[in-house]
Amino acid sequence: MKPAVKRIIFFAALIVFWELGSRFELWHETILPSPISVYDSLVAGFADMTLVYDLIASFRRLLIGLAAAVIIGTGIGILLARSKTADETLGTLVLALQSVPSIVWLPLAMMWFGLGEGSIIFVVILGGTFVMILNVRTGIKNVDPLFIKAARTMGSNGLDLFIKVIIPASVPYFVTGARLAWAFAWRALMAGELLSSGPGLGYTLRYASDFGNMSLVIGVMIIIGVVGAIVDLMIFQRIEKNVLKRWGLET
Partner 1 sequence: MFIEAKQINKVYYDKNNKPNTVLKDIDLSIQKGEFVSILGPSGCGKSTLLSMIAGLVSSTSGDIIVDGKKVVKPGKDRGMVFQQAALFPWMNVTENVMFPLRKEMSKKEGLERAQHFLKMVQLSNYPSHYPHELSGGMQQRVSIARSLAMDPAVLLMDEPFGALDEQTRSRLHGQLEEIWIDTKKTIVFVTHSISESIKLSDRIIVMGTRPGTILTDIRVDIPRPREQHRQEIAALEEQIMGLLKTEIDKVIDEEQAYEAGS
* Site membership for partner 1, residue 245 (CB under 8 A): yes
- What are the respective helix, strand and coil percentages of the chain, to the nearest 5? 80, 0, 20
* Site membership for partner 1, residue 166 (CB under 8 A): no
Q: How far apart are CA 205 and CA 188, in angstroms?
A: 15
* Site membership for partner 1, residue 162 (CB under 8 A): no
Three-class HEC string of 88-136: HHHHHHHHHHHCCCHHHHHHHHHHHHCCCHHHHHHHHHHHHHHHHHHHH
Residues 6+ apart with CB under 8 A from 154: none
Task: Report yes or no: 236 and 54 within 8 Å, Cβ to Cβ.
Answer: no
Identify which of residues 39 and 247 has a Cβ nearer to partner 1 in the complex.
247
> Which 8-state DSSP code applies to residue 233?
I
CB of 131 vs partner 1, minimal distance in Å: 23
Residues 202-221 that bind partner 1 (CB under 8 A): none
* Site membership for partner 1, residue 248 (CB under 8 A): yes
Using DSSP, state whether 143 is helix, strand or coil: coil
* Site membership for partner 1, residue 161 (CB under 8 A): no
* Site membership for partner 1, residue 247 (CB under 8 A): yes
Piece in contact with partner 1 (CB under 8 A), picked from 7-15, 62-70, 76-84, 239-247: 239-247
CB of 153 vs partner 1, minimal distance in Å: 4
CB of 104 vs partner 1, minimal distance in Å: 39
- Residues at the interface with partner 1 (CB under 8 A): 146-147, 149-157, 164-165, 168-169, 171, 245-248
